Every structure is written in C-alpha cells, then in structure tokens.
Structure 1
Amino acid sequence: MTAKTQLKYPYHFDMVGSLLRTDALKNAHEQYDQQLITEDELKQVQHAETKKIVDKQVALGFKDVTDGEFNRNWWHLDFWKSLTGISQEFKTTVSFKGGGNKLHSAQLEGKVAYNPDHPFFETFQYLNSITPDGIIAKQTIPSPTLLFGTNWRDFYDDWDEYLNDLSAAYHDTILHFYQLGARYVQLDDTNWAFLISQLNATKDDPIEHQKYEQQAADAVRLINHILKGLPEDLTMTTHVCRGNFHSTYVFSGGYDVVADYLGKLNYDGLFLEYDSGRAGNFDPLGRIWNGDQNKRLVLGLVTSKSPELENKSELINRINQAAEKVPLENLALSTQCGFASSTVGNKLTQEQQWEKLRLVRDTAEDIWKD
C-alpha cells in the first residue's frame, strides 16, 4: 500500500475504538474455547470480520478506522498480559454500577519492559493492510497510568524507577507501532475518572487529598515522558473513560478537579465523555484545552450505552455551548465511549451501533465543513 495521509489531530468526527463483536466472531471464540477450531482458524474469522467492520466505517465516511478491538477479550488486559513483567493473573477492584462485573487490573510478575513480539503488532499490521489509502488505521491501547495500583513494590525499591520502566516500555511500544505504519495511537485511560471520584471524596481530608493530587501529578509526568520525542507526524490522543461494561459504568463527577492536570498533558487530542450529567458541565473545557491551538477536545455527546438516538439539533446546540469555552475548530464529536470494552458489549444491536456513528457523522458535517 502507498503511504497514508497523515493527520495532526483528531478529526471533527472520530472513532473512540471498540465495536460490538459480530455473531460470527462470537461463535468462532466459542468453538475455539471448546477446541473445535484451531487458533489459525479463529484468526481467519477474526480477520474476515475485522475487514467487514473496517469497510463499514469507511462507507460511513470516517477518516480513521479501528479494528473494533476484535482481537481482544478485554480492552486493557489483553494488551498488558503480553508486556514483559505483567502477570496473566488479574485482580478485581471496584464494581460497576448495578453489579454484574468487577473492574479488573493487572499485577506484576517482574520488572516491566517492552516486548518486541507483542501480538498487537501483528494485529495492527493486518488492520493497516486493509485500510484504504487516505484513511488512517487507529491503534488503541490502555494507558500505563492504570498500572499505578499494581504490586510494584515486589520488584522495585523506588517509585521513580517503576515509572521509568513503564515509560520506556510504552514509548518503545508506540515507536514500534509507528515503524509498522501507525500514525494515530490512543491511550484509553480510566485513571482520571478514578481521580475525579477520589479527589471529590477526600476534599475534607487534606492528607488523603494530597495523595491523589500527587497521583495526578505523577500521571502527567509519566504520560508526557512517554510522548516526548515521538515522531511529529504521529498523532497521540487519550480517551478519558468512566468505565464501560454491558451499558454500565464505574465513576461519576465533573472534570473540574482534574482539569488543570488534563491541560498539562501533551496529547494532540482528548476524548471526553459528555453523554450524561455524570460528566458535569462544560466549564472546565477551557482549562483542559489550555489555549493549545494544535489540540482538539473530542466531545463524547452521543452515548454508546443505549440504543436511543440523540436529537441532532440538541447535539449541535451543546457543541455550540462548548464553543463558548473552546474555539469551535478545536472541538470534535464522537460517541462517549466504545461499544464493547469486552466481548460482552453494550445493550444495543449492530444496526443501532452504526446508527449512532452515522449520527456522529451527520451532526459533525452540519457544523464543520471539512
């Protein structure tokens, strides 16, 4: 394939990442789990179904496409377990609202390091090979800030040494994606939603509050260290996620308590969930944007958690309200999250998913003319 068109920031209508797994892919996984098909046969189905959803995204007019995370059972665990030093045994932490699932996190089995044979590299190569010229293949991976709560003391005497290893592992991983043709990488991050919750909960406890302020500062330091020195034609974004499992969530609270920290992150764009009152108002947007003319804030106004379609006029009105805080050119639109952070997926159909993405496109095209 010829070289892809390079983007410098998120498009005015953009993809978050995951998509509902197709019936064919689910059936193939069941057959594989029952040892009825081989790994190669599973991969053939995965490739075929990925091609279908890439073609669908292109047909809808998206300028960047994802593989829907069709190579994963979980949006984060499948990536981590193939990094050097990460155990395949995961711990459970807080529950999703309404029950039914726990939020899983990784544990260490040694010092963290880059894995040149990470299976996500092969998956990206396939995605890039089926992405048409002029369209960008977008790679999503979980943010390293989610690894703050591991058993790092079992292998490190010093917190800064741990952060340095995390930074090197991620920096080298992103560089390898770039070498394979990636020009758009996104770090999905629930840590900021966790910090919003904790900073609000500890506002009357100065000692505990300072602990979470320090964690926010460390997150900024880690991310900016990873981003430092990456190629200029590589777009780096983050999705600030509040938890997404079977149409449920984990965290609530407005962005005001972390806005200044988010404003210091050297990303090209931030995907911000704004589909419900759980996210608060638009007042913090100016501090998050922080006057950076090369940064876009992608407003997640269209929910991926329910099938009901939002009203386009109301979406346009909300975007115009946000434009009172940040220039319209530096805003964009997406769904609030992906549609399937695990194989379970949210409570809507495939067609309803595509209708949501069609609404994102139609709304954006009514506002921005590019």
Structure 2
Amino acid sequence: MTKTIVKAPFRADQVGSLLRSETIKIARNELKEGKISQEQFREIEVQEIKRIVDKQIEVGLQAVTEGEFGRDWWHSTFMEHLLGAEGYIPEHGYGFKNQETDPYDVRLVGKVAYNPSHPFFQQAKDLLEIVEERAMVKFTIPSPNQFFHPAIINGQYESFDDFAPDIIEAYRETIKEFYRIGIRYIQLDDVYLAVIATSDFTPEEKKYRAELAVSVVNSILQDKPEDLTVTTHVCRGNYRSDYHFAGGYDDIAPIIFANEKVDGFFLEYDTERAGSFEPLKHIPKGGPKVVLGLVTSKFGQLEDKETIKARIREASQYVPLEQLCISPQCGFASTHHGNKLTEEEQWQKLKFVVDVAKEVWDDFN
C-alpha cells in the first residue's frame, strides 16, 4: 500500500513559541547585568534550543521550531531589525484583558527596507544545523500586516497605500533569503487580522483593511517556490496567559479565508471567544488547510480527548476532514515571560495534540 505524503502544515502541528527554560532566564539576566557577553548568551541559547528540538521530535511533532528563543517578543524582535525601523520604550504597554504588558514597541524612523544582515537569518541557519534531517524546520515571523498601525508607521509614509509597496518588497526579499538558507516552512503571525475582525471599524473600513491585508500577503508570495510552505496564524493576543481580543472570524472570513493564498490558516478555537466554525465555509475546498487551535496553550490542564475529537467533527461540516489539522491555539511564550504553565505541562499538551491526530487521521503516523 502506497503511503500518503502529507505536506505541511501537518495533522499535528504547533504555533511556534515555547517556554524559556530557567537556564535561559538566568543567562538573560546575566546578559543585562553585563556578566556575560552577547556571544556567551547565544551559546547558552543554542544549547537550550538543541534540547527543545530533541523534545519536540520525541513527542512526535513533524515540524519543529527554535521556540522563538532568539527573540524577546514574537513580533518586535523581527520588526525592529528591518532597515528603517527601531525598537523603543513607549509610555505604556499593550492593554490586555487583565493587565498591561511591559512597555516595548517598534516604530519607523525612515523608509522600511530589507536587511540582508537580519539576525533571524543566522538563527535559521543554526536551527537547520541542529535539526538536520530529523524533522521539518518551521520558522515564524510576524506578518507584514503587523506594520499597518499609525504609531508604527510614525509619519514616515502618508498613507497605508503609500507604505504597502515598501513593506511588500522588504518581505519578498526576506522570504527569498530564508528559502536560500534552506527554510521550507514559514509561518506569518497576524494579530492585525484579529484587530480587523473584532474592532468597531465601520464595515467600509473593515473591508478596506482586510482587502489590503490580503493584497500585501499575496504580493509577498507572488513568486513563492512550490516547495515552500507559508501559513498564517490569526492570533488574539498571548501574554502571560492573558488575551487581548475577543470575537469571531465572521467579518474577515469572506475576504481573508476566501482569498489569501497561503497554504494554511492556524486559527484559535480553544474558547468561545473565537466564535463558531461557520466562517470556515469560506475556505476554498481543496485550498488552504485549516489548523484548528483547539488545545489551549495558556493553562496546563489537559483537555478531554473525546471533546476535542467532537469539535474536529463539528468543524468538518464546513471544511473536509482531509483539509483539517490540529494544534495548540497559540504559542506557549509569545514573549520571553511565558504563559502560566510548567514546561512538563507544555510537552504534555504537544503530545496530546499528536495523540489526538493519530486517532483522527489515517494518514498521520
């Protein structure tokens, strides 16, 4: 019998970030206090990445990440290293449901452009060397749509339309370099789509922003190689087990789900905050896979397996089962602070995802 080859995203997948170990946390403090150099810190970081890569493979994941260990924040550490951008400390952090984040953000100080010396390229090389042929390397970066905020654009462009060509070009070149290095699986993390979906923008403004977001992503993928997988993760915020946005996908689905030319959508569905599965009807049949984020990464208690399987069957009313996958709803540490669970609970969550996938899909082994 011929074995079915499944392309990423995989039946059991993950969003990307993992809890920073105590070793990393201690080393980071020593770095800030000047007790160790940046090079010494990176050596410690790489050793810890080797450990978590082995663990991801052990629990059965086919795609592994560096846990986003090489960054403090899921988005800003990438964004601030594009040419024309800088990180800075604003007066306030982001307002989450129950807390305010540590203050840190990114703004443009000139025209944005590709940075051939971006530190993420070396991180990708290190990860490829660590993983070798044991699994597929997955690398996560913020979507270009994350830049579409007046405070980030910072007066460097007159309008979103004026800004779009430059951010498209910067990302096109960035993705080309990741591919040249050897990365074949990239995830675009897109909180901006959740902003559109859950905001009180007028219908006209939502339509404009959603159509622009699709246009930007489709433009950066225009010449994407056939063997490069690119997915979008729609996130509602993830900071110390707290969230930022609440609301379904209804307002963006007819535009985003129907037209964004990615290979898959990672969608949060761990709580009722995400709404129903009905917006999935806009996913083209035979088109992008839908990775159902049914397992929460915010807390350590394991979900009931039969409940999760029932939810997958429910989603299959709108998207064929062969087009579905499963993952945690988000990463475990979108910032270096991490969510409120233990590392052992994190690995149990990921193994749970793998175990469920084995029972649901015949083409997963």
Give the corresponding residue for 1:265.
Answer: 260
CA distance in 2, matches of 1:229, 1:103: 37
Match of 2:314 among 310, 317, 321: 321
Q: Secondary structure at the match of 1:255?
A: coil
Q: Secondary structure at the match of 2:111?
A: strand
In the alignment, does 2:203 pair up with 1:209?
A: yes
Which amino acid in structure 2 is aligned with residue 167 of structure 1? I
CA distance in 1, matches of 2:34, 2:102: 28
CA distance in 1, matches of 2:114, 2:180: 15
Deviation at 1:157, TM superposition (A): 4.1
In the alignment, does 2:157 pair up with 1:156?
A: yes
Match of 1:274 among 269, 272, 277: 269
Sort the Cα spacing of 1:189 and 1:11 in 2 relative to 1 into closer, same or farther, 3 A: same
Which amino acid in structure 1 is aligned with residue 198 of structure 2? S
Q: Which runs of 5+ in 2 are unaligned?
A: none
Sort the Cα spacing of 1:195 and 1:105 in 2 relative to 1 into closer, same or farther, 3 A: farther
In the alignment, does 2:41 pair up with 1:42?
A: yes
CA distance in 2, matches of 1:93, 1:257: 27
Give the corresponding residue for 1:107.
Answer: 107
Q: Secondary structure at the match of 1:317?
A: helix
Deviation at 1:196, TM superposition (A): 1.3
The C-alpha deviation readout for 1:256-315, integer Å capped at 9, x for no partner, is 11111222100000000000000011111121x222x14200000000001110001111
Match of 2:350 among 341, 354, 357: 357
Match of 1:283 among 278, 302, 306: 278
CA distance in 2, matches of 1:298, 1:178: 23
- Of residues 78-87 and 155-164 in structure 1, the stretch that sits farther from structure 2 once superposed is 155-164
Give the corresponding residue for 2:225.
Answer: 231
Give the corresponding residue for 2:51.
Answer: 52
CA distance in 1, matches of 2:160, 2:232: 24
Note if contact 1:12-1:368 (Cα within 8 Å) is conserved in structure 2: yes
Note if contact 2:157-2:163 (Cα within 8 Å) is conserved in structure 1: yes
TM value normalised by structure 1: 0.93
Give the corresponding residue for 1:126.
Answer: 126
Match of 2:288 among 283, 288, 295: 295
CA distance in 2, matches of 1:72, 1:222: 25
Q: How many residues align?
A: 356
Deviation at 1:156, TM superposition (A): 2.7
Deviation at 1:9, TM superposition (A): 3.1
CA distance in 1, matches of 2:160, 2:287: 32
Give the corresponding residue for 2:81.
Answer: 82
Give the corresponding residue for 1:3.
Answer: none
The C-alpha deviation readout for 1:43-93, integer Å capped at 9, x for no partner, is 110000000000000111111100000011100110011100112225456
Q: Secondary structure at the match of 1:99?
A: coil
CA distance in 2, matches of 1:39, 1:102: 22
Give the corresponding residue for 1:222.
Answer: 216
CA distance in 2, matches of 1:72, 1:94: 18
Give the corresponding residue for 2:340.
Answer: 347
Note if contact 2:185-2:228 (Cα within 8 Å) is conserved in structure 1: yes
Which amino acid in structure 1 is aligned with residue 256 of structure 2? L
CA distance in 1, matches of 2:59, 2:94: 37
Sort the Cα spacing of 1:149 and 1:261 in 2 relative to 1 into closer, same or farther, 3 A: same
Match of 1:240 among 231, 234, 240: 234
CA distance in 1, matches of 2:7, 2:287: 8
Note if contact 1:9-1:294 (Cα within 8 Å) is conserved in structure 2: no
Give the corresponding residue for 2:243.
Answer: 249
In the alignment, does 2:339 pair up with 1:338?
A: no
The C-alpha deviation readout for 1:295-340, integer Å capped at 9, x for no partner, is 2000000000011100011111110111111100100000000000
Q: Which runs of 5+ in 1 are unaligned?
A: 1-5, 203-207
Q: Secondary structure at the match of 1:162?
A: helix
